[in-house]
Amino acid sequence: MEHFLIIGAGQAAHAAMMELERLNFSGRITLIGEEPHLPYERPPLSKEILVGAEAADPEGILFRPKEDYQKEHIQFRPKSKVVSLDAAAKVATLANGEEISFDKCLIATGSTPRFFGGFEPSPRVHYFRTWEDAVRLKNCLKSGTRLAVIGAGFLGLELASSANALGVETEVFERSSRILPLHAPSFLSEWLIQQAQARGIELHNSVEDLSLTIQDGEVLVHYNDSKLTQVDHVAVTIGSQPNDDLARQANIATHPERGGIIVDHLGRTSASGIFAAGDCATSVNPNNGLATRIESWQNANEQGRIAACSMLGQDPNAADLPWFWTDVFDANIQIYGQYDPSAVYTSKQFNEGTDKQLSIGVIDNKIVHAIAINAARDLRPLKRLIEQGIEINVCEFIDPEITTRNFARAAMAEHRARSND
C-alpha cells in the first residue's frame, strides 16, 4: 500500500487530498500541519472573521469536518513540523524526532509574511497569515482605534476595508505611485482609491523612507522625509516569502532570485517522488525560463490538484486561467485572465444608480482579462471567450441593449461560422 506524505495543511494540500480521493487513491495519506487546528480556508480571515462575531476556533471556515480526517487511510498530524527531509531515502523527520517513511511527498508549506524593517510581530505591529493573526488583530480593532496599513495590495485593502467597517480610523501607505500596478489596470486602482476616500480612509501613494517607532503606547509612522502619523496599531502587508527551507535542506532545487521550490507543469521538483504546490512553489517555463510564483487561492488549488494527479502517474487537465476574487469596500470584485499592460480596456455600464461594472482588456480583438465589480454573473459568459481566444466585437460588448450572455453567444456563433468556412 503506497504512502503519500503531504507537508502543509493549507489550500494546496486540501486540493491535493480532494483530487486523490476523486481519483480513488487506495493508499495511505499522512497530512502534517503546524497549526493546532483542522485545515481551514484563509480568505475569510481578512473579511468575515475580522468583522464577524467572536469565535473560539475556525470551525466555521474548515475545509472539511473532523470526521473526514479520521478515516482509516488518512492520518492528520496537527501541531507537527517536518524539520528535515531525506529525498533519497524517502524519510521525513519531525521536530520531536519521529521519522515518517513515504513513497511520494507533496511539499505544500505555503509562505510567511515578509517582515518590515526588522519588526517582528508584537502587540502593536501585526502580520497576517493565520487564524491566530486574525484573532489578535480583531481584538485590537475597536471603534476609534487608529490603524496604519503598510502595503496596498489586495490583502492590505481588505484589512483597511474591514477595519473601517468597525469604526477604526485607517490610513494606508503604499510605495508605488498607484495601487496594484502589477495586477490591475489603472482604472481599477482609481476606483479603489475613490471607494477608500469615500469611507474616510486616507491612502498615501509614492511613500518613501517609511519607518516605525514604538513610543509611549503608540506607533509613530515616519514617511517622505518629514511627515508623521501617530497610530495605535500597524498591519504590515508587504508580501511574503516562500517557505522553501525544507527543500533547501534536502538539496531540492529552489529559485535563486525569486525563491520557492522549482516545479514543472506537473508539480514535480528536482527530486524524484517529491512534488510541491502553492505559495512555496515557483513554476519555471522550460521554453523561456520565466519563473512565476503566484500567491492566490486559485493557484494553490490548481497546483495542488495537478500535483496529486501527477503523484498517481496520471495526466492532469491543464490549469485554469488565473481567477481572483475579493470583497472590499462593500463590493465584490472578480478578475479572470492575465493582466497585460498592453491591453485596451473597455467597460460596460449597467443601470444607473447601481455600483456595477464589467470591463474587458482586449488585444487583437481577443479578451485576455476581465474585471467584474458586483457583476460576477455577467463575467461567467466571458470565460469561454477568454479561454479559447475567441475574437469579439467590442461595440457589441458595450451595447446596453445586448446582454453579456447574448454577446458571448453571438461571438461563439461567429467563431464557429468562420471555422466552417
| Concatenated DSSP letters of 118-185 | TBPS-SSEE--SSHHHHHHHHTT--TT-EEEEE--SHHHHHHHHHHHHTT-EEEEE-SSSSSSTTTS-
Indicate which CATH number applies to the domain containing 211: 3.50.50.60
Residues contacting 246, CB < 8 A, separation 6+: 7, 82, 83, 84, 85, 107, 109
Residues contacting 66, CB < 8 A, separation 6+: 38
3-class secondary structure, 10:
coil
- Return the half-sphere exposure (C-beta side, CA atoms, 13 A cut-off) of residue 149: 31
Specify the pLDDT at position 353: 59
3-class secondary structure, 68:
helix
Cα distance between residue 275 and residue 262, in whole Å: 10
Residues contacting 245, CB < 8 A, separation 6+: none
Q: Cell numbers at residue 40, please?
A: 481551514
Specify the pLDDT at position 54: 87
Q: Cell numbers at residue 24, please?
A: 480513488
Tell me if 318 is assigned to some domain. Answer: no
Are 335 and 394 contained in the same domain?
A: yes
- Order of strands, sheet of 74-77, starting from the edge strand that comes earlier in the sequence: 74-77, 28-32, 3-7, 104-107, 274-276
State the total domains in the chain.
Answer: 3
Q: At which residue does the C-alpha cell 482586449 appear?
A: 362
Cα distance between residue 180 and residue 365, in whole Å: 25
Q: Cell numbers at residue 209, please?
A: 523612507
Are 127 and 104 contained in the same domain?
A: no
275 pairs with which residues across the strands? 106, 268
- State the angle between helix axes of 404-420 and 376-388 in degrees (0 to 180), rounded to the nearest 10: 20
Cα distance between residue 411 and residue 391, in whole Å: 7
Q: Cell numbers at residue 330, please?
A: 462593500
Are 175 and 232 contained in the same domain?
A: yes
Q: Tell me if 210 sits within 8 A of 150, measured CB to CB.
A: yes
Q: At which residue does the C-alpha cell 472539511 appear?
A: 64
Nearest CA to 182 out of 261, 331, 295, 348 is that of 295
Q: Cell numbers at residue 286, please?
A: 522550460
Domain boundary pick from 259, 276, 311: 311
Are 351 and 247 contained in the same domain?
A: no
Tell me if 325 is assigned to some domain. Answer: no
Report how far apart, in Å, the C-alpha atoms of 367 and of each of 42, 49, 76, 385 are. Answer: 30, 35, 43, 7
Are 108 and 247 contained in the same domain?
A: yes
Are 278 and 349 contained in the same domain?
A: no
188: left (phi over 0), alpha (psi -120 to 50) or beta: alpha
**Which domain, by its residues, includes 363?**
330-420
Domain boundary pick from 311, 339, 356: 311
Specify the pLDDT at position 286: 85
Are 142 and 214 contained in the same domain?
A: yes
Specify the pLDDT at position 327: 96
Specify the pLDDT at position 351: 73
Specify the pLDDT at position 195: 95
Indicate which CATH number applies to the domain containing 346: 3.30.390.30
Domain boundary pick from 192, 218, 236: 236
Are 246 and 387 contained in the same domain?
A: no
Tell me if 320 is assigned to some domain. Answer: no
Specify the pLDDT at position 352: 63
End-to-end C-alpha distance for the chain, whole angstroms: 55
Residues contacting 346, CB < 8 A, separation 6+: 359, 360, 362, 394, 397, 398
Per-residue tens of pLDDT for the chain, all 421 residues: 899 999 999 999 999 999 999 999 999 999 999 999 999 999 999 999 999 988 889 999 999 999 999 888 999 999 999 999 999 999 999 999 999 999 999 999 999 999 998 899 999 999 999 999 999 999 999 999 999 999 999 999 999 999 999 999 999 999 999 999 988 999 999 999 999 999 999 999 999 999 999 998 899 999 998 899 999 999 999 999 999 999 999 999 999 999 999 999 999 999 999 999 999 999 998 888 889 999 999 999 999 999 999 999 999 998 889 999 999 999 999 999 999 999 999 999 887 656 899 999 999 999 999 999 999 999 999 999 999 999 999 999 999 899 999 999 999 999 999 888 7
Tell me if 301 is assigned to some domain. Answer: yes
Specify the pLDDT at position 55: 87
Cα distance between residue 104 and residue 101, in whole Å: 9
Specify the pLDDT at position 103: 98
